[in-house]
Protein backbone atom coordinates (compact mmCIF):
# COMPACT_ATOMS: atom_id res chain seq x y z
CA UNK A 1 0.00 0.00 0.00
CA UNK A 2 2.84 2.38 0.82
CA UNK A 3 4.49 1.91 -2.58
CA UNK A 4 1.13 2.53 -4.25
CA UNK A 5 0.83 5.82 -2.34
CA UNK A 6 4.39 6.77 -3.22
CA UNK A 7 3.90 6.08 -6.93
CA UNK A 8 0.61 8.05 -6.94
CA UNK A 9 2.42 10.92 -5.21
CA UNK A 10 5.18 10.85 -7.85
CA UNK A 11 2.61 10.78 -10.66
CA UNK A 12 0.70 13.75 -9.20
CA UNK A 13 3.96 15.61 -8.59
CA UNK A 14 4.99 15.15 -12.24
CA UNK A 15 1.57 16.41 -13.40
CA UNK A 16 1.75 19.44 -11.14
CA UNK A 17 5.31 20.20 -12.22
CA UNK A 18 3.99 20.63 -15.76
CA UNK A 19 1.00 22.68 -14.57
CA UNK A 20 3.26 24.95 -12.49
CA UNK A 21 5.54 25.42 -15.50
CA UNK A 22 2.50 26.23 -17.68
CA UNK A 23 1.29 28.83 -15.20
CA UNK A 24 4.71 30.49 -15.10
CA UNK A 25 4.79 30.75 -18.88
CA UNK A 26 1.20 32.00 -19.12
CA UNK A 27 1.90 35.45 -17.69
CA UNK A 28 -1.23 35.14 -15.52
CA UNK A 29 -1.30 35.38 -11.76
CA UNK A 30 -1.72 32.05 -9.98
CA UNK A 31 -5.33 32.83 -9.06
CA UNK A 32 -6.21 33.87 -12.62
CA UNK A 33 -4.55 30.78 -14.07
CA UNK A 34 -6.29 28.49 -11.56
CA UNK A 35 -9.69 30.03 -12.37
CA UNK A 36 -9.15 29.57 -16.12
CA UNK A 37 -7.96 25.98 -15.68
CA UNK A 38 -10.46 24.89 -12.99
CA UNK A 39 -7.74 24.18 -10.44
CA UNK A 40 -7.85 24.94 -6.74
CA UNK A 41 -5.34 27.66 -5.88
CA UNK A 42 -4.83 25.93 -2.52
CA UNK A 43 -3.75 22.73 -4.28
CA UNK A 44 -1.59 24.78 -6.64
CA UNK A 45 0.30 26.36 -3.73
CA UNK A 46 0.58 22.98 -1.99
CA UNK A 47 2.16 21.30 -5.02
CA UNK A 48 4.30 24.33 -5.79
CA UNK A 49 5.76 24.06 -2.28
CA UNK A 50 6.34 20.28 -2.72
CA UNK A 51 7.94 20.66 -6.17
CA UNK A 52 10.18 23.56 -5.10
CA UNK A 53 11.23 21.84 -1.88
CA UNK A 54 12.21 18.63 -3.65
CA UNK A 55 14.05 20.58 -6.35
CA UNK A 56 16.05 22.43 -3.69
CA UNK A 57 16.93 19.20 -1.92
CA UNK A 58 18.05 17.59 -5.19
CA UNK A 59 20.13 20.64 -6.06
CA UNK A 60 21.75 20.51 -2.64
CA UNK A 61 20.96 24.15 -1.88
CA UNK A 62 18.66 23.58 1.06
CA UNK A 63 20.64 24.70 4.10
CA UNK A 64 19.42 22.58 6.98
CA UNK A 65 21.97 23.81 9.50
CA UNK A 66 21.28 27.52 9.07
CA UNK A 67 24.95 28.27 9.77
CA UNK A 68 26.89 30.81 7.72
CA UNK A 69 30.00 29.45 6.06
CA UNK A 70 32.95 31.49 4.81
CA UNK A 71 35.42 30.77 2.05
CA UNK A 72 38.85 32.39 1.74
CA UNK A 73 39.35 34.22 -1.55
CA UNK A 74 42.99 34.74 -2.48
CA UNK A 75 44.05 37.49 -4.87
CA UNK A 76 47.58 38.25 -5.95
CA UNK A 77 48.88 41.83 -6.00
CA UNK A 78 49.18 41.67 -9.80
CA UNK A 79 45.42 41.04 -10.08
CA UNK A 80 44.35 44.02 -7.97
CA UNK A 81 42.93 46.78 -10.12
CA UNK A 82 41.95 49.98 -8.35
CA UNK A 83 38.55 51.47 -9.17
CA UNK A 84 39.97 54.93 -9.71
CA UNK A 85 43.23 55.15 -11.63
CA UNK A 86 43.34 58.94 -11.58
CA UNK A 87 46.48 60.79 -10.56
CA UNK A 88 46.97 61.18 -6.83
CA UNK A 89 50.23 63.16 -6.90
CA UNK A 90 52.94 64.36 -9.28
CA UNK A 91 56.49 64.78 -7.96
CA UNK A 92 58.97 66.87 -9.98
CA UNK A 93 62.65 67.21 -9.26
CA UNK A 94 65.62 68.11 -11.51
CA UNK A 95 63.56 67.67 -14.68
CA UNK A 96 62.23 64.27 -13.62
CA UNK A 97 58.55 63.57 -13.10
CA UNK A 98 57.00 60.82 -10.97
CA UNK A 99 53.24 60.35 -11.22
CA UNK A 100 51.51 58.41 -8.42
CA UNK A 101 48.11 56.97 -9.28
CA UNK A 102 45.20 56.42 -6.93
CA UNK A 103 45.23 52.87 -5.72
CA UNK A 104 49.02 52.58 -5.89
CA UNK A 105 50.29 49.93 -3.51
CA UNK A 106 52.84 51.22 -1.05
CA UNK A 107 55.96 49.06 -1.06
CA UNK A 108 58.50 49.69 1.67
Tens-binned pLDDT, residue by residue, of the chain (108 aa): 578 888 888 999 999 999 999 999 999 999 999 999 999 999 999 999 998 888 877 766 655 555 666 778 776 655 555 555 677 778 888 888 877 776 665 543
Specify the pLDDT at position 107: 46
Any idea where the domains of the chain sit in the sequence?
Answer: 4-59, 78-107
- Classify strands 87-93 and 96-101 as parallel, antiparallel or unpaired: antiparallel
49: helix, strand or coil? helix
Specify the pLDDT at position 108: 36
Are 30 and 41 in contact by the 8 Å Cβ rule? The answer is yes
Of 83, 74, 86, 14, nearest in space to 47 by CA: 14
Q: What is the pTM of this model?
A: 0.52
Amino acid sequence: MTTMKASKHEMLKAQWQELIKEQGQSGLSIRQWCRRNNKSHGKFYYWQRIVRGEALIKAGTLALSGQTQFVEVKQSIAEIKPNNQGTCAILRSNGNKIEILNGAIQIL
